[in-house]
Copies of this chain bind each other. A is one copy, B any other.
Amino acid sequence: MKIFHNISQLITLAGGPQRGLQLGRLGMIEQGAVVCEGENILAAGGNEEMLERYPDAERVDLHGRAVVPGFVDPHTHLIWAGDRANEFEMRLQGKSYMEIMAAGGGILATLTATRNASLEQLMEEARSRGDTAFSYGTTTIEAKTGYGLDIETELRQLEAILELDRTAPIEIVPTYMGAHAIPPEYKGNPAGYTRFLCEEALPATKQWWLEHASGRPLPFVDVFCEAGVFEIEETREILSAAKALGFPLKLHADEFENLGGASLAAELGAVSADHLVKTSLKDIARLAASETVAVSLPGTPFGLAQQEYTPAKEILAADGYLALATDLNPGTTWNESMQFIQALACRYLKLTPAQALAASTINAAKAVALEHTVGSIEPGKQADFLVLTTPDYRNLSYRYGTNQVAIVVKKGDLYPNAD
């Protein structure tokens, strides 16, 4: 048993996911302490009370620093090979989209590199990103496939997820995203690829999972619903097939155009609808009336130097659940840090530091259906929390660009960052 004591601000985020304008209820205990037993939290409360109640626990003095729940990053494309620094540079040199494609850029570049990568290479590259995310405070991360788009590579990505989850300190939530793009084999034939996904890829993935995932629940299935990729009817087809097979659902919706993806996600009971930049007020209302979490990815417009962000205020006013994520990927936003996402969310979604933190912890946990095990500091939950470098949690958004996590605690184990 360990007691982490002498905490200036213990931000528990207790009480479950936070709807609408309730977002930002910190459950703050000033002068607090957390007691852990093995992998779990046994108690959280006032410093003196906890020290008295657990006199024999091993003491870890946190020297008046703040403690917050470990961040949950509910939307990443963690598993890929190669990079697209070249494409980033070409864009800045004024090259057109077509010139970049002709030079082998775009998602096809990552597709080719990922198809050509061994399991070991995929794991090595993803492990480096996972370790970075972890040292910046992400204790649970969602990871999608979607850079294979054939059965073999997609399963290799799933295998990398399972193996990384087993061997790295960060905990990984798997998502199958064969519907990330139309592969070259089906160019101009989205209907054919949709049929392939529904009739072959999804059943094969389920079969593989049951044989390889040691009894873990099925991964999420996610679709990139966007004009020119998967239209709304194709998206409905794929998600319905996945649902019939028992997969839980997620959805990329309204990043560039308002196709109605958010409403579809709500209708089908998806766990989350993500991006939501162009979402109409009607779609926001439908989403907010459901249990589906709206996941905003402010790193994506930032990475692309675009000016338009998720209408977060409208989502909160409509009483929706709002969460934040990085969207970590090689094309639009290579950033592993949920701290930076909170700094962005304050500036561009106009959240308060408390709202940004709740959207990165307890609400983000709901966006991967883990709100009962992570995302807050409460008895019975996993002992996943962060000791900050300073006494004030608001610094996570006020300051930016650097790492303000001093120690990551994952399932009760301490992983200190260097000073």
Report A's interface with B, CB cutoff 8 A: 83-86, 88-89, 92-93, 131-132, 136, 299, 302-305, 307, 334-337, 339-340, 346-348, 350-354, 392, 394-395, 397-403, 417-419
Asked if A400 and B352 make an inter-chain contact with CB atoms under 8 angstroms apart, the answer reads no
**Within 8 Å CB of A392, what residues of B?**
83, 85
In-complex Cβ contact of A85 among B88, B299, B398 (8 A): B398
In-complex Cβ contact of A401 among B84, B340, B353 (8 A): B340
Asked if A402 and B353 make an inter-chain contact with CB atoms under 8 angstroms apart, the answer reads no
In-complex Cβ contact of A402 among B304, B336, B398, B418 (8 A): B336
In-complex Cβ contact of A394 among B85, B348, B352 (8 A): B85
**Within 8 Å CB of A401, what residues of B?**
136, 299, 335-337, 339-340, 401
Per the bound structure, the CA–CA distance linking A352 and B87 in Å amounts to 11
Asked if B394 and A351 make an inter-chain contact with CB atoms under 8 angstroms apart, the answer reads no
Closest B residue, CB atoms, query A348: B305
Interface pairs A-B: 4 shortest CB-CB? A418-B418, A340-B401, A305-B347, A335-B401
Per the bound structure, the CA–CA distance linking A351 and B92 in Å amounts to 7
Asked if A337 and B402 make an inter-chain contact with CB atoms under 8 angstroms apart, the answer reads yes
Per the bound structure, the CA–CA distance linking A289 and B32 in Å amounts to 60
Closest Cβ–Cβ distance, residue A66 to chain B (whole Å) = 11
Asked if B335 and A88 make an inter-chain contact with CB atoms under 8 angstroms apart, the answer reads no
Asked if B92 and A335 make an inter-chain contact with CB atoms under 8 angstroms apart, the answer reads no
Closest B residue, CB atoms, query A304: B347
Asked if B136 and A402 make an inter-chain contact with CB atoms under 8 angstroms apart, the answer reads yes
Given known pairs A85-B392, A337-B401, A399-B334, the reply for A350 and B92 (CB within 8 Å) is: yes
29 A-B pairs whose Cβ atoms sit less than 8 Å apart in the complex: A83-B392, A83-B395, A85-B392, A85-B395, A85-B398, A88-B394, A88-B397, A89-B354, A89-B394, A92-B346, A92-B350, A92-B351, A131-B419, A132-B402, A136-B401, A299-B401, A305-B347, A305-B348, A307-B307, A334-B395, A334-B400, A335-B399, A335-B400, A335-B402, A337-B402, A340-B400, A340-B401, A401-B401, A418-B418
Closest Cβ–Cβ distance, residue A351 to chain B (whole Å) = 7
Closest B residue, CB atoms, query A335: B401
**Within 8 Å CB of A334, what residues of B?**
395, 398-400
**Within 8 Å CB of A347, what residues of B?**
302-305
**Within 8 Å CB of A348, what residues of B?**
305
Closest Cβ–Cβ distance, residue A168 to chain B (whole Å) = 13
**Within 8 Å CB of A400, what residues of B?**
303, 334-335, 340
Per the bound structure, the CA–CA distance linking A309 and B111 in Å amounts to 36
Closest Cβ–Cβ distance, residue A328 to chain B (whole Å) = 10
- List 17 additional A-B contacts (Cβ < 8 Å) besides A89-B353, A334-B398: A83-B392, A83-B398, A84-B398, A86-B394, A89-B354, A89-B394, A92-B346, A92-B350, A132-B402, A136-B401, A303-B400, A335-B399, A335-B400, A336-B401, A340-B401, A417-B418, A418-B418
Most buried by B among A352, A400, A401: A401
Closest B residue, CB atoms, query A131: B419
Per the bound structure, the CA–CA distance linking A337 and B335 in Å amounts to 15
**Within 8 Å CB of A136, what residues of B?**
401-402
Per the bound structure, the CA–CA distance linking A95 and B354 in Å amounts to 16
**Within 8 Å CB of A353, what residues of B?**
85, 88-89, 92
Per the bound structure, the CA–CA distance linking A296 and B105 in Å amounts to 31
Asked if B89 and A352 make an inter-chain contact with CB atoms under 8 angstroms apart, the answer reads yes
Asked if B336 and A398 make an inter-chain contact with CB atoms under 8 angstroms apart, the answer reads no
Per the bound structure, the CA–CA distance linking A304 and B418 in Å amounts to 30
**Within 8 Å CB of A340, what residues of B?**
400-401
Closest B residue, CB atoms, query A334: B399
**Within 8 Å CB of A337, what residues of B?**
401-402
Per the bound structure, the CA–CA distance linking A351 and B83 in Å amounts to 20
Per the bound structure, the CA–CA distance linking A354 and B86 in Å amounts to 12
**Within 8 Å CB of A92, what residues of B?**
346, 350-353
**Within 8 Å CB of A132, what residues of B?**
402
